A and B are shown apart, each in its own frame.
Chain A
Amino acid sequence: MVQTVGGLEVRAKEELFINLEPLQRGGIMPAEARKAALSYIDGYSTCDYCVGTLHLIKKPPIANFLEEVAGFLGMDFAILTNGCREAKFAVVHAITKPGDAIVVDANRHYTSYVAAERVGLAIYEVESTGYPYFQIKPEGYAKAIEKVKAETGRLPSLVLLTHVDWIYGNLVDAEKVGKICEEYGVPFLLNTAYSSGRMPINGRGLKADFVTCSGHKSWAAGAGTVGILAIRKEWAEKVIKSSKEYKVKPIEILGCSARGSSTIALIVSFPFIKERVKHWDEEVKKARWFSSQMEALGDIKQLGDKPHNHDLIRFDTPAFDRIAQKHRRRGYFLYEELLGRKIAGIKAGKTKAFDLSTYQLTNEQLKYIIDSFKDIIEKYS
């Protein structure tokens, strides 16, 4: 019988399965954060001692936390947003106007594009190198900026780089892109949804004017959604400007953003985040080992950066697709076989290619996953 709560199936994915879903691995909360989120679960729980705006609240210590986060990211100021997408939109909306141009990478998250669309920008794209590496080369940004100049007679109003993309887990040399932006005098937004919180980030060192972060994706902060927008002080007046009527309310985040347990989760997870980014090299090592073991199974090819530099890994998997062609459950067989081995997170129906994350899994768990894939191949060969 399925256990339910309030008529919904109880979600015990992390307790019963190894979860490989790249969207979820970096957002798994440590016990202390779950405890804190539980006690702050009610609406507006952060606002018992409201001082007019969320980012200035001292109890719970949101203001102090944001100061510390700004330093942690090598930036001057940080404010909370409802997510990374809202952080990106806040910047795009604050510093561009309809008809301006923006340069984005081809591996961008859709929300980067939509944020630009919402403001009415002309979107110029930096192409990837295509199959099988799909890399974004920093010099592509110089070409794209030149293209904007040639076609519009003006520089783009903003450059956006997806530091690590959501499809291939490619890590782009952000510092090189930052230098290009500096040379042209174009503001640089670094989307770190898949990097900050997992690996060390120094926004100033990377020459970023804005760093956007996802709490629920990479900072072990669930309990809702939450993001961080970190900025350099030169932009504070423009991006964190307040309403004329409501003096303490920053316009771009509509005054206050994540007003509840997700913010609490972010604060309580922070010591855990500061510690875990120190071990990023170990995560990369595990990801590379896993990738090599997958390819050794035969007829499986890792896409993206090689050697890989991130826990999010995408594979072309003809080995599984061949089985799917003959299996009565077709593409669903792999999902079901894995579920039977208590492995979740590979999307149902995917056998041609799939992505997964090895983030914070133990060597024992990773070996078990490899053995399970091997078992499945052997079972049907």
Chain B
Amino acid sequence: MREKIVEKTFDALFALEDLREILRKTAPFDLTKEQVEEARKVLAKVRKALDEIEREMR
């Protein structure tokens, strides 16, 4: 259980770094449609990782 939670914790953190990268590359402008789409994909990865952590902890 612990290994899986640790792995998914890093997956979530790493995905958030990808989100941060989008913000860093586009500052200080509003995100374009394509960038919002890219950010959504990243958020989906984060959510998936968090869901898996929750499942492991049940």
* Residue positions of A touching B, CB distance < 8 A: 14-18, 28, 30-31, 34-35, 38-39, 341-343, 362, 364, 368
Residues facing A in B11-41 (CB within 8 A) are 13-14, 17-18, 20-21, 23-25, 27-29
Residues from chain B with a CB closer than 8 A to the CB of A341 are 28
Please determine whether B27 and A31 come into contact, CB atoms closer than 8 angstroms.
no
Please determine whether A15 and B10 come into contact, CB atoms closer than 8 angstroms.
no
Please determine whether B27 and A364 come into contact, CB atoms closer than 8 angstroms.
no
* A-B pairs with beta carbons under 8 Å apart, 6 shown: A15-B23, A18-B27, A31-B18, A31-B21, A35-B13, A364-B29
The 8 Å CB contact of A28, one of B10, B14, B17, B24, is B24
CB distance from A186 to the nearest CB of B (A): 44
A-B contact count (CB 8 A): 35
Residues from chain B with a CB closer than 8 A to the CB of A38 are 13-14, 17
CB distance from A271 to the nearest CB of B (A): 16
CB distance from B12 to the nearest CB of A (A): 11
Residues from chain B with a CB closer than 8 A to the CB of A16 are 27-28
Question: How far apart sit A360 and B35, CA to CA, in the bound complex (Å)?
Answer: 19
Please determine whether A18 and B21 come into contact, CB atoms closer than 8 angstroms.
no
Question: How far apart sit A16 and B13, CA to CA, in the bound complex (Å)?
Answer: 20
The 8 Å CB contact of A17, one of B13, B14, B17, B27, is B27
The 8 Å CB contact of B20, one of A18, A34, A343, A368, is A34
Please determine whether A14 and B24 come into contact, CB atoms closer than 8 angstroms.
yes
Residues from chain B with a CB closer than 8 A to the CB of A14 are 24, 27
Residues from chain A with a CB closer than 8 A to the CB of B10 are 39
CB distance from B8 to the nearest CB of A (A): 14
Question: How far apart sit A18 and B23, CA to CA, in the bound complex (Å)?
Answer: 11
Residues from chain A with a CB closer than 8 A to the CB of B27 are 14-18, 342
Question: How far apart sit A50 and B21, CA to CA, in the bound complex (Å)?
Answer: 33
Residues from chain B with a CB closer than 8 A to the CB of A34 are 17, 20
